[in-house]
Structure 1
Amino acid sequence: MSRTWFVTGTDTEVGKTAISCALLHAAAARGLRTAALKPVAAGCDEQGHNEDALALQAAMTEPLSYLQVNPVALQPALAPHIAAAQVGKRLQASRLAGLCRGVMNSGAEFVLIEGAGGWRVPLSERETLADLAQQLQVGVIMVVAMRLGCINHALLTAEAIARDGLQLAGWVANQPGQRMACHEENLRTLQQHLSAPLLAEVPQLSPYSPERAATYLDIQPLIGS
């Protein structure tokens, strides 16, 4: 089976997809076959395509179909459980886990499963995306948006991951917007309080490209020797 990680964020719009694409490029540069999924995507076009899922599909080495990359595509740009209810669908962690395992066993050596929003985003009245990660029993990569409030959001997310019995395999300090005040001080505080390795400090890139972002990443803690 492949080495697989669940990519979560400290909030929505933190750069999960951008960092996931960069991780895929970094792994491919090491000669690894890569694949990724966004099991649930809310905010799809009339063709049922989500721009984040399309970006993942373009960044991986394996020729997966769009349906394999994004098996549940919801048109309303809302929280997944609300979007699903509006279109008469019910989301279940066990079904999503089965779809993920299909890709995990497809031959890729480096697989990312990108969540939606943060760690506790609901799938239904009883389940959250954290239940999906728990069922898969994979390591977690946390993307931290370096902006006001990031310390609290990151530490709470890391605590929740640990409480759910999963390993925080690494985290990325991403700068999705203008550089925050006291950036270095905030970064040092996060490093002092998070025991997982810092995989990268990625600045705001204009224009952004996953190949360029990949140059900031150190994926050695993920893949070993």
Structure 2
Amino acid sequence: MVNKVFITGTDTAVGKTVVSLALLQMLQQQEIVCAGYKPLSQNAQLTEQGLQCADAQLLKQASTIELHYDRVNPYPFTGSEVSTGSITTFNEQNLTEGMSYIETQVERLVIEGTGGWHSRINTQNPLSDWVIKHKIPVILVVGIKLGCINHAILTAESILQQGGELVGWVANRINPGLEEYQQLIALLTQHISAPKIGEIPYISHAHQKNLASYFNIDPLAHFFSH
């Protein structure tokens, strides 16, 4: 039984958090105990409780169990992918132990990546190496915009070439004025070997909405059942 999935994207700011929240919402509707996990985060801000990332806070709120922020996001970085934040290294063993801890508390775990599949934090190895090592099934989020076909196909191919399991992809419309939207969806459907499991229209403040209706859970039925 698969009890976790990893959410990656074609790039940063393509909707990984939105898709992660949508999956958690769907699990809640099935009355499945679930939680979100963001091992590494970028652009964290200093709060009264320490460094915290807005995306990780949303995952924490969407989880069905109460978790301390540090459990949801053990490594918050103040910088971006190539800049130096307050934390300059991370320990893979800590990531694994953090994942295992939450797994003992829930039935399903949604793990959100940072940036794209090969994104690095402060020039370290990409998080994708850790995902492949632990054989975590992957869902690819494609931000629908001009240029996304190349990014999506290359990312999907890379996941498979590394030995990863690409269980599906999600189209997230981030440009409401894109005239070629339907053509892009058709091309992506034709060239990505995994099924399209969701299609999210452009929605203002999407993280505040119920997004479950935009998904087809059939390809992931085993993940959304007890």
TM-score by length of 1: 0.90
* Aligned-partner Cα distance in 2 for 1:206–1:74: 26
**Structural RMSD (CA):** 1.9
Conserved 8 A contact 1:144-1:150: yes
Identity rate, percent: 35
Number of aligned positions between the proteins: 220
Shift, 1:136, TM fit: 1.9
Q: Which residue in 1 is equivalent to 2:144?
A: 146
Letter in 2 for 1:70: N
Q: Which runs of 5+ in 1 are unaligned?
A: none
**Matched position secondary structure for 1:7:** strand
Shift, 1:22, TM fit: 0.9
* Aligned-partner Cα distance in 2 for 1:90–1:189: 39
Q: Which residue in 1 is equivalent to 2:109?
A: 111
Shift, 1:185, TM fit: 1.1
Conserved 8 A contact 2:9-2:117: yes
The answer to whether structure 1 residue 10 and structure 2 residue 10 are counterparts is yes
* Aligned-partner Cα distance in 2 for 1:36–1:128: 20
Letter in 2 for 1:58: Q
Q: Which residue in 2 is equivalent to 1:56?
A: 59
Conserved 8 A contact 1:94-1:132: no
* Aligned-partner Cα distance in 1 for 2:204–2:69: 28
* Aligned-partner Cα distance in 2 for 1:46–1:104: 28
* Aligned-partner Cα distance in 2 for 1:174–1:194: 15
TM-score by length of 2: 0.90
Q: Which runs of 5+ in 2 are unaligned?
A: none
Describe the superposition over 1:154-206 as per-residue Cα deviations: whole angstroms up to 9, x where unpaired: 11000110011111011100012324221111101111111211111110113
Conserved 8 A contact 1:50-1:73: yes
**Matched position secondary structure for 1:121:** coil
Shift, 1:96, TM fit: 1.6
Conserved 8 A contact 2:167-2:194: yes
Shift, 1:73, TM fit: 1.2
